[in-house]
Structure 1
């Protein structure tokens, strides 16, 4: 009787798979942008669904690793590690490049005990920041949370509608100079959509 073949080992979760996870969450608001990005990565839709399924399984496994360990395992050593002070607390900002967004970096803020306080996309060091002056400049994927908050200060945080989502409320002029109330929603730190009050 032939011996049974050994069970196949699961494929490693790669940086490409992680980019698909980011896209999967963004597809709720911007399916056309996500579809274009998926084509640039040259992967089928099924791969995006499978990557998200595997990511969720990693998050909810009984043997789940810490977020910091998981990111190092998936993305490799950070491109940079920078000390940050937030209020009275000190942490380290780990940043990784992602080929899909060369002008951005994926950032995790890691506490001294290894907990991840925040995880999102930020502008890459040295990359030019977008010009944000009016509500018309706030197009999907045009800016990050911190860029919008700085451009239209003071901005008030809003509760996100799901994990990995953030919101900001602020005022911004439209193209004719009329100040409008804006609610902006971000996924993984990247702008997805805005709701603008009527003039």
Structure 2
């Protein structure tokens, strides 16, 4: 019988998808967690099997079984929709929380990393401030408003388009890519 899927395993799932963009950061984080590349691949494989199994429980139950009782839960309004936000700490990112947004019927709308309540947000003023893992989707959207959503390249990926100045105050059209809500890379869009 396989061992229980733990919060450590869940962090490895997040890292596995981030490795596509930032293998060096992921390698450092993986070593910090004390796990091998094979263990990271195995955790991702198990997560995918749990999510795709014909007997799979719903996403909300899966998150609770892996991460435990949320650290906090609060009603949230997203546009004109009411939902519930569950937050869990993850040791690898102590200043962030994994957030799951649930529809009124209990279905998961979204799951991603957000800034922990009370944790200071990063100062985002120029392109140079937008380094990998420096900010979340909503932080970049607020700092460089108005931002437009871009189609993600995978279910756990999001994109934003916005205008941002560089260190010399030259404004650029930027495309930012996020995985699990955390910035992975930016690119200057050509006109």
Q: Same fold (TM over 0.5)?
A: yes
Matched, 1:58 2:50: yes
Deviations, residues 134-159 of structure 1 (Å, cap 9, x unaligned): 00000000000000000000000000
1:4 paired residue number: none
Aligned length: 191
Matched, 1:123 2:118: no
2:136 paired residue number: 144
Matched, 1:70 2:79: no
Q: CA deviation at 1:87?
A: 2.5
The partner residue of 1:82 within 74, 87, 91 is 74
Structure 1 residues 182-197: aligned runs within 5 Å: 182-197=174-189
SS at match of 1:33: helix
Matched, 1:107 2:99: yes
Q: Which has the larger radius of gyration?
A: 1
Deviations, residues 37-60 of structure 1 (Å, cap 9, x unaligned): 000000111100000000010011
Q: CA deviation at 1:197?
A: 4.1
TM-score by length of 1: 0.94
Structure 1 portions without partners, runs of 5+: 1-8
The partner residue of 1:155 within 147, 154, 162 is 147
Moved over 2 A (4+): none
Matched, 1:33 2:25: yes
TM-score by length of 2: 0.98
Q: CA deviation at 1:198?
A: 6.7
Deviations, residues 100-147 of structure 1 (Å, cap 9, x unaligned): 000000000011211001110000011110000000000000000000
Structure 2 portions without partners, runs of 5+: none
Matches of 1:50 and 1:153, distance apart in 2: 39
